[in-house]
Every structure is written in C-alpha cells, then in structure tokens.
Amino acid sequence: MLINLAWKNIWRNKLRSGVILGAITIGLFAGTFLISFLTGWIVGTVNTDIETQFSHIQIHDTAFLANNDVNACFFRDDVEEKINGDGMLRASVKTAYRLNLTGMLASPYQVVGVTAKGVSVDEEKQVTTVWKQIPDSLGAFLPDDTRLGIVVSRKIADKLKVKLRSKVVFTFQDVHGDMQSIAFRVCGIYKTTNGMFDENNVMMRCDDLSGYTGLPSGAVHEAAVLLPDLETCKTVVPKLKEMFPDMIVQDWNELNPALSMAMTYTDSMAIIMLAIFLLALSFGVVNTMLMAVLERTRELAMLGAIGMSRRKIFSMIMLETVFLTLLGSMVGMALGVAVIAPLLESGIDLSFFMEDQFEDFGFSSMVYPVLNAKMTVQILILVILAGVLSAIYPARKALKKTLINS
C-alpha cells in the first residue's frame, strides 16, 4: 500500500515530476555517454600502442634500455628455447624478435633521426598491425621480391620528400664504433593512429641489417611478446621474469607508465564524473520534493491523525524520491545505451574537430565507446545512493511539518 501510494503521489503534479525526470534523464544520458566515450578512448589508445609498438611484453638485455647500445644484445635461440619449452607459454604467446638500431635516414632532400627495426616479416605480422596500415596504393610490408626494402611512415616520407620505390640511405654505428651506411628502397608507406610512433620508426628485414651491425649470427635486441589479452600479463610476466633473471622483462604498463596511469584511473575518473552529475541533479530533486512536501503539510498531518506512523510517512517520502530518481535514471541509461550501441562498431571520428592533432600526442582520433556490466552496476549504485540521500531532507521536513500541524 505504501509503495502504491508513493507512486501515485509522484504523478499528482505531472508537469513538475516531468521536469525533474527530464533533468535526471538528460544528466544520466550525458554521464553514461561521457564515461563510455572516455573509457573507449583510453582503452583504444592502449590497444593501439600494444598493436603498433609495445606488444604486451618486451624482453631486453639489461644494458639496452639505458642507452640503446647496439652491443646490448642476446641470442634469440636462448629465449625461444625457454619459451617454447613451457607448454602454457608455447600455446598462448606469439613472439617476434627484432634488431633495434638508432641512426639517420637520408634522402637527397632531407635527413631525419629514426629507430630502425630489423624484423622477420612472418613474426612481425603476428604481433603488430603496422602491415595492415599500408594501403594497396602505397606498397606492401617488406615483400619478398624487393631487395633491401624499407617501410617508412607517411610522416617520414613527407619529411624526406620520398615516395614508393624511392631510395634512402640509413646510417648507424656498428658494434665496433664504425659508421655503416646502407641504401634501401621504399617498398611500403604506412600510417597508424599513433603519430608519435609514426614520427620515428622504420622497418626493414633483420637479415638485411644484421650483416652490417657486426653482431654474431642470431643476436637480437628485443623480443616482443603478444598475449591473448591484458589480463594474461598478470600471470605471464612473473613467469618470464623467473625464466630470465639476467634480462629486463617489462609489460606494457612499465613501457608506457603515463598511459598505464590513465588506464588505472579511468574507472575512478568515471565514478567521480558521474558523482558530480548526480550531485548537481540531487539539488534539483531535493528542491522538487521539498516543494511537494510543503504543499502537502495538511495532507501529511491528516495521515498522521488517522493513524499513519511517522516511520511510514518518512518511508513514503523516501520512496517518492527514490522512484523519481530511479525512473529518470533508467530512462537516461537506456537512452545512452541506445545511442552508444551503434557507435561500438562504427566509432566516433574526432578528426573533424582537430584533424590529426590527437594522433600527434599518441591518441587515436577514432574513438570506439565501451559499455560493460561493471560500469552499469556502478551507475546504478550511485543513482540509488543519490536518490536515498536526496530524500532524507524532504522526508525529515515532512515529519516536522506533520508534528507542527498535528
């Protein structure tokens, strides 16, 4: 009976209730959309970094990260043997071995500093998506029919004023300190959504580079490990660190601490943002319910006079406020999901806003919103909490008015 009475009381003044429901609906829609957008942006940026440059885990010699020393190498067979010797790792990880050389890339028009990655084509295609970012009109990823081929980004190609089939010269220092220069032919031009990666990285075959480095056969600078998902890192990283105690094993969190911090605080930021939305809406709910209570002082006094207890009057006002909040919230969330659902696949293109300037800072201009059950539960909990807190003051005011008039 109390629930039925509280529900009917909401609709006694349809205009007032409709206004506050509209405000709650718009607020929850905006909050849901903004949280999904922000989460999608951060998650998308993390995935892009993993797919283009970091992978989930990287293994290096202890001296390599300090100064990219060309001598700081290890033998791929030693690492490969241990990884393949573990049944769990062999089934779940994909590994690519690379040479990493810092040097200068020159054309007849310009010179730029780059990091050259000597890769095995088949391995690299398993752990990165750079090869997918080369349009058919701009070549291919180190095809077999191109001798001494090099893949450069569109940014580097523009700086060097080169195009497909152009010749460039890569100059670097070998293990003996001597300068080596190799002429490559551009066989592919890529463009990822990570402008910072595109700014500095070129790729060529490991076999084309290794003979000029002075390194022994089979020596590499980096092992990039790709896992099925981010959660698997928590179990694989400790295992690899135990396997290779004399090497540096880092997951994507350690390789990019700033992005890791953003990912870590995404959930907290989402809750704080939604809490701000609900706090603002709560003032509107309190004001509306307070007006309703003050208009019904005689009615509430009469209910007390005919035997309704103070506890039931308090509960009735609380239920009215909670119903109002929950109804508006459910409509707002449903509207948010309806708008977001088509964007999960198509994404939101921000290039119209700042062109490619987001990509210059490592953020993709294409954002795919994220919806998950955890976020929905958090929103519902916050909504219920906001409704209960918003109801307390009007309900207490109702009790005081009831006592005065009785």
Contact (CB, 8 A) for 191 and 131 = no
> Residues near 235 by Cβ (< 8 Å), separated by ≥ 6?
none
201-212 b/e with 16+ CB inside 10 Å = b? bbbbbbebbbeb
Distance of CA 13 to the CA centre of its chain: 45
pLDDT of residue 356: 62
CA atoms within 13 A on the CB side of 334: 6
- 297-305 and 310-340 helices cross at what angle (nearest 10)? 130
Q: pLDDT by residue for the chain (406 residues), tens digit each?
A: 677 877 787 777 788 778 888 888 887 888 788 888 888 888 888 888 888 888 999 999 988 877 778 899 999 999 999 998 888 888 889 999 999 999 999 999 999 999 999 999 999 999 999 999 999 999 999 998 888 999 999 999 999 999 999 999 999 999 999 999 999 999 999 998 888 889 999 999 999 999 999 999 999 999 999 998 888 888 899 999 999 999 999 998 888 887 777 777 776 777 777 777 777 777 777 777 777 777 777 777 777 777 777 778 777 877 877 788 888 888 888 888 888 888 888 888 777 665 566 666 666 677 888 877 777 777 777 777 777 777 787 777 767 765 555 4
pLDDT of residue 141: 96
Tokens 């390789």, residue located: 255
Q: Are strands 201-205 and 149-153 parallel, antiparallel or unpaired?
A: antiparallel
The rounded distance, in Å, linking the Cα atoms of 311 and 318 is 10
pLDDT of residue 360: 61
Partners of 224 in beta bridges: 58, 96
Question: Count of CB atoms within 10 A of residue 285's CB?
Answer: 24
> Residues near 342 by Cβ (< 8 Å), separated by ≥ 6?
none
In terms of pTM, does the model score above 0.85? no
Domain positions in the chain are 2-49+263-405, 57-226
Contact (CB, 8 A) for 289 and 394 = yes
Residue 173's closest CA among 53, 98, 68, 73? Answer: 68
pLDDT of residue 65: 73
